[in-house]
Amino acid sequence: MASSDGEAHDGIDPEKARSDVFQRLKTICVPLSQLALTLTRDANAENRFKIVNGLEDLAHTLNTIPPEVYSAQLGDYVFFPLSHLLRLGEKLDDRTTELVLQNLELLIRNTWGKNLNPELGKQMCILITFFIDDGTASDPTRSTKSVSDETKRAGSRALLQLFKAASVSKGLRDVFKDGDIIPTLAHTIAVVVKILMDSDDVDCELAAADCLRVLFISVIGHGDIIATFLPGVSSTLCRIITPSIKRAHFKVLAKCVELLALLLAHAVPDDDLDYIRDSDGSESIADSSAAMAESSSVAMSRHISGEEESNSSGNSERVRVKSLRSKAWIEATRHQVKLALDPVTRLRTHQRPEVRMEVRNFCARLLQTCFKALENCRSVFLITLIFLSSDSDYDVSFESFDFIRNFGRDNEEVIDLVKEGVYSWMNGLQRTLSMQDEPRKTALLLELKVGIDLLIDWDLDMAFLQESFVSNFLSAVSLTASESPKIVASDVITSSDIVALQHGALIEISRLEDGRMAFPSLDIQRIIGGNATEYLEQILENVGISTNGRKILNDCIRIASDSENSLQDQQVAYWMYVHMVNGVRKSIEIFEDDSSRQLLSQSAENLNDTSLALIQAYMDNDDMSPADTSAVLVSLEALSLSAEIMGVDFKLSLMDIMYPVLNLIASRSAQIRQHAYIALNNIAMATHYLSMSELLVDNVDYVLDSISLRINTLDISPRTPKILSVLIRLAGSSSIPYLDDIIASIFQLLDNYHGYFRLVEGFFEVLKAVVEETSITYLTATLSIENKPRSKRPGIWDLETLLTDIQRKPEFVLDEKENRLLEEKDEDGSGLKLSEKKASEKDELDRELAERDTHPPETPEPWTSPVPKPWYIIVKRIANLTKYYLSHESSSLRYQLLDLLHTGMPILATSEKELLPLISDTWPPIVHRLSDPEFHIIVAALGVISDYSKYSGDFMASRIEQVWPTIRSILPRELPREREGRFSRPAQLYNAATDCICTIVRHTRLKEETFKSVLESVAPFLRYNNDLRQAMSEISSDAVWLYFNV
């Protein structure tokens, strides 16, 4: 830790510290001096090795010396052995030269500083240049010696410290401004520029760039002298920042752009224009023009040397340098600078924000200092800054926009340039958007957006844009729905569809801070990818809050409402209107404005009326053209915006919009479905509902009235059940109590329209939605149901089991009567073939069941299910209805019904009294599905049988005995092959059958003969199926052991 002079460093006396340092340095410098003298006579390898070691020790020691211990005397002492080495010149090898320059840098920086002797500083500049010059600065085709990048880096850093010392030392600074040193300085600059151009070492390039910056700006600082070196240096800098010539590191690029800006700002500043006179003769003009045409550091050096030879004295040289700048030179410079701007402005899209920030600083600095001198470049600077105002890096974008805003606020010339640019960009919108150049489209829209932002910020009238703004947009923009493959092909809405909506699986959506969702940008013809559409929307939002926004808004809604205009113009005009109104809404959130509030109120009415008319016209159409789809999407965004504007007052409009929006969520188009979902979510947030579910439940009567009206007037289509499914799945189980009448109507419709497959399938999906939402609501209750007692091995029962079975005897007797009805199948396979005797038995059974229902006990049994009785009865009625359609010709409907039963079983199992008659009623058609021609139906039927066994236990005993032969025939004879995959037919049948057998064995009592049959059938799989082996072992572990060991 450094301390100030006169204070101890870490508790050590400074004088004692200096004495210790001198002793340490003495042990290094004395031998080094002797070796240096020896090297002049005997430059053998051993001596060179010792010198290298000594220089390394010296550099290490100098780096460890505390700053307050350094002094000029110490520097002189250490420089003594270095001076001997410097005199050897080319006799030094590259490594020794590098170490000498490193130590020299340390001495200049830490010991001499501003007190460096001017003459010594001049000599050091010459020496250092000599050591790092490989000869290519004078002749690029010939290298006189090899100099490593490490040596060049050390030399560049030494020069940097030398020039820094000169910048704070008047005497040394005057030396470098003297005309006599100009040729020497020109050679140094040529060498350093060549290093900057050719080196591949980033640190070396950075040191060279810093060296030039300090020399030109902090040491020379005079515009006439800088102008003398400008052509060659600026040409090299432009070559470095041109990717096709050199792939420079981003730090080097940033340094070069900064250096070029500083050189131009000092060579052609506005402050010097009054002092620049006309050239006295054509020679100087020709010379300066030739100088501007020079493109290399070699030509620069020769140019300087030629000027020196043309003068007889140093004084005349100084005058010659000072008189280089003239009006003719300025004109030539302007032309050359504009050409040089191209590689600089291309860096505005560089991937590194550090480079883009330097491009911003370049343009801002030259606009400030050379606004008049480089008047032909103003538009380039402004356009670049405007482009960077929308940079992805916040600092770059903010600094760029903030500079233009402040610099141009009271600058009429800048304002005129921005206006001209906006007008030009607006008129070129159609031409640019029709091009295949996507980056150019993005650049134009960015420029247009920021230009309009600036005019709005300056509160300027945009009447020059008012007349052409709408017409240009209409001719340039064409909305189109993307031909996305994400089209929902199914005619039903499933729970997975709703999950996809909620999580943005169809189209990615983002949620805003206030709970609203952001609409994905619409597709615009001729714009592919990127953020171009977003920029167009931002332009419209900004125009909406401009002083001319109201007039443009009126033009848009007039065009959108006029049926004489083309459909495309109407759509684009309405899209423009929506986003401009959204801009006004956003501005009111920040600034209170009564006139804007009045405008918003009127606009909300326009949005409601126009959008509702469009949605109602298209909502039942699943085959819309891309243009029609775009109209619907814009209308949904408009409804959402209207709700955000009106807030709670929008509730008065819910009666009209709820059914149409839900209708669109049931659309087959992924875009429309997602847009409608986002609109409904935003409407819920805007009207202060906690969720979309609460909005739907609170306004469910509006939707149900619309659906009931369609049902009562027989205006039914496959879309009707899809809308009901959407309502139930989005609103959740809270909507189910309101569905009694609708569900009753569905039952009636299923009777009347059972031949219409799509309609039947859709209505069953509605019923399935009811069952699923009920199951979700009472999931905890269904999980708490205790499993039935596990089966035990057939044989002698214990006393407790025997007494239990005796008590259940009537139930078993009743069960036997029912089972006799299942012995023979009906001819058409839909029921049972009954003889007269069996028919009488069935009638007897029906009378017995009816007697139970019509003569309940005097004291009604309490309802024990955790599911409310009305909800349970609905689910039971739905499940019972499946038996009439399980033989339907549609395999998808059959599978849907079996899946419905599987979903409803946890709910139905909460009341055993209600469950067992349902199982009795639905059992025959389920058994028949085990012979279905579609294997996935068989898999689903096995799953339902497994559920029945799990939830009804021994009630299924006789039924399992009867159906076991069929299940055994389904079970594959051998384990499915792995290469067939787990989704192959054998694998699915195997998994379904073994899972069903496991559940049956665990929950239903089997006869001993049946158990043996089951064990024989599954024996080949016990070794590979742990769950199956464990289930069988629970019944008879001995029998399983025998199969494994005998």
> What does the alpha-carbon distance between residue 190 and residue 159 come to, in Å, rounded to a whole number?
13
125 CB-near residues (< 8 Å, 6+ apart):
159, 162, 176, 184, 185, 188
What are the backbone dihedrals phi and psi of residue 242, each rounded to the nearest 5 degrees, phi first? -95, 115
**Model confidence pLDDT, tens digit, residues 366-379:** 999 999 999 999 99
801, pLDDT greater than 50: no
Any domain includes 319: no
Domain identity same for 985 and 970: yes
DSSP 504-553: TSSS--EE-TTS-EEPPPPPBTT--STTHHHHHHHHHHHHHTSTTHHHHH
Any domain includes 744: no
**Residue given tokens 């983002």 in the structure block:** 510
Burial of 339 (0-12, 13-18, 19+ CB in 10 A): exposed
Greater pLDDT, 306 or 585: 585
Give the count of beta carbons closer than 10 Å to the beta carbon of residue 343: 20
> What does the alpha-carbon distance between residue 830 and residue 894 come to, in Å, rounded to a whole number?
13
DSSP 1013-1029: HHHHHHHHHHTT-HHHH
What are the backbone dihedrals phi and psi of residue 4, each rounded to the nearest 5 degrees, phi first? -75, 165
Q: Strands, E, within 632-715: which ranges?
A: none
854 CB-near residues (< 8 Å, 6+ apart):
none
Domain identity same for 488 and 628: yes
**Model confidence pLDDT, tens digit, residues 762-776:** 888 888 888 888 888
Hey, is 9 helix, strand or coil?
Answer: strand
Q: What is the DSSP letter of 144?
A: S
| CATH code of 835's domain | 1.25.10
Structure confidence at residue 859 (pLDDT): 61
Structure confidence at residue 259 (pLDDT): 94
Structure confidence at residue 593 (pLDDT): 66
Domain identity same for 883 and 964: yes
598, pLDDT greater than 90: no
**Model confidence pLDDT, tens digit, residues 416-473:** 999 999 989 888 888 888 887 778 888 888 888 899 889 888 888 888 777 788 888 8
Ramachandran quadrant class, 347 (left: phi over 0; alpha: psi -120 to 50; beta: rest) = alpha
What are the backbone dihedrals phi and psi of residue 83, each rounded to the nearest 5 degrees, phi first? -65, -35
Segment 232-243 shows an average pLDDT of 90
Domain identity same for 524 and 642: yes
- What tokens were used for 850? 């009816």
- What tokens were used for 651? 């509730």
Domain boundary (416, 439, 460) is at 460
926 pLDDT band, cuts 50/70/90, is very high
Contact 955, 811 (CB under 8 A): yes
Distances (CA, A) of 50 to 30, 96, 98, 412: 13, 10, 15, 70
Domain identity same for 600 and 630: yes
> What does the alpha-carbon distance between residue 552 and residue 555 come to, in Å, rounded to a whole number?
5
Structure confidence at residue 614 (pLDDT): 87
**Model confidence pLDDT, tens digit, residues 728-759:** 888 888 888 888 888 888 888 887 777 777 88
Contact 162, 108 (CB under 8 A): yes
- What tokens were used for 106? 């340390």
628 pLDDT band, cuts 50/70/90, is confident
Segment 19-31 shows an average pLDDT of 84
Please compute Rg for the chain using Cα positions.
Answer: 45
- What tokens were used for 181? 């040193």
Percentage of the residues of the chain whose pLDDT score is greater than 90: 27
Segment 115-125 shows an average pLDDT of 86
Contact 726, 665 (CB under 8 A): yes
605 pLDDT band, cuts 50/70/90, is confident
DSSP 831-849: SB---HHHHHHHHHHHHHH
**Model confidence pLDDT, tens digit, residues 133-152:** 887 766 666 666 788 889 99
> What does the alpha-carbon distance between residue 254 and residue 242 come to, in Å, rounded to a whole number?
12
856 pLDDT band, cuts 50/70/90, is low
Structure confidence at residue 992 (pLDDT): 92
Any domain includes 700: no
Q: Which of 711-715, 761-765, 825-829, 883-887 has the lowest mean pLDDT?
A: 825-829
**Residue given tokens 């205006």 in the structure block:** 715
695, pLDDT greater than 90: yes
- What tokens were used for 825? 């199948």
Instruction: State the sign of the Cα–Cα–Cα–Cα dihedral 259, 260, 263, 264.
Output: negative
pTM of the model: 0.69
Any domain includes 350: no
Q: Which of 250-254, 602-606, 761-765, 1037-1041 has the lowest mean pLDDT?
A: 1037-1041
Domain identity same for 886 and 969: yes
232, pLDDT greater than 70: yes
521 pLDDT band, cuts 50/70/90, is confident
Give the count of beta carbons closer than 10 Å to the beta carbon of residue 798: 9
Domain boundary (428, 445, 460) is at 460
Segment 964-978 shows an average pLDDT of 86
**Model confidence pLDDT, tens digit, residues 212-230:** 999 999 998 888 888 888 8
Domain identity same for 446 and 482: no
Burial of 25 (0-12, 13-18, 19+ CB in 10 A): buried
Contact 201, 153 (CB under 8 A): yes
Segment 174-184 shows an average pLDDT of 80
Contact 404, 382 (CB under 8 A): yes
Pairing outcome for strands 510-511 and 517-518: antiparallel
DSSP 584-620: HHHHHHHS--HHHHHHHHHHHHHHHHHHHHHHHHHTT
Domain identity same for 566 and 453: no
Domain boundary (688, 708, 726) is at 688
Percentage of the residues of the chain whose pLDDT score is greater than 70: 80
1034 pLDDT band, cuts 50/70/90, is confident
Any domain includes 195: no
263, pLDDT greater than 90: yes
560 CB-near residues (< 8 Å, 6+ apart):
570, 571, 573, 574, 577, 610
Structure confidence at residue 812 (pLDDT): 36
3-state secondary structure 357-397: HHHHHHHHHHHHHCCCCCHHHHHHHHHHHHHHCCCCCHHHH
What are the backbone dihedrals phi and psi of residue 411, each rounded to the nearest 5 degrees, phi first? -105, 105
Domain identity same for 449 and 473: no
Any domain includes 49: yes
Range of the domain at 424: 379-460
Segment 109-124 shows an average pLDDT of 84
Q: Which of 707-716, 720-729, 738-747 has the lowest mean pLDDT?
A: 707-716
Q: Over the chain, what is the mean pLDDT?
A: 80
Contact 616, 632 (CB under 8 A): no
> What does the alpha-carbon distance between residue 384 and residue 567 come to, in Å, rounded to a whole number?
38
Helices 700-712 and 654-665, packing angle to 10 deg: 70
> What does the alpha-carbon distance between residue 276 and residue 692 come to, in Å, rounded to a whole number?
73
Contact 783, 746 (CB under 8 A): no
> What does the alpha-carbon distance between residue 384 and residue 347 come to, in Å, rounded to a whole number?
10
Helices 223-240 and 282-293, packing angle to 10 deg: 30
Domain identity same for 451 and 494: no
> What does the alpha-carbon distance between residue 240 and residue 533 come to, in Å, rounded to a whole number?
36
Greater pLDDT, 747 or 356: 356
Burial of 219 (0-12, 13-18, 19+ CB in 10 A): buried
Residue 438: closest CA among 527, 537, 535, 539: 527
Segment 473-489 shows an average pLDDT of 64
Any domain includes 295: no
Count of domains observed in the chain? 4
Residues 637, 642, 643: CA angle, nearest 5 degrees: 100
Length of the chain: 1046
Q: What is the DSSP letter of 653?
A: G
**Residue given tokens 């955790």 in the structure block:** 866
Greater pLDDT, 910 or 499: 910
> What does the alpha-carbon distance between residue 373 and residue 75 come to, in Å, rounded to a whole number?
46
Domain identity same for 385 and 494: no
Domain identity same for 52 and 14: yes
Contact 380, 345 (CB under 8 A): yes
The end-to-end CA distance of the chain, in Å, is: 87
Segment 948-977 shows an average pLDDT of 90
What's the gap between Cα 115 and its chain centre? 57
Any domain includes 602: yes
Distances (CA, A) of 27 to 58, 78, 101, 598: 10, 11, 20, 89
Contact 412, 451 (CB under 8 A): no
Give the count of beta carbons closer than 10 Å to the beta carbon of residue 162: 29
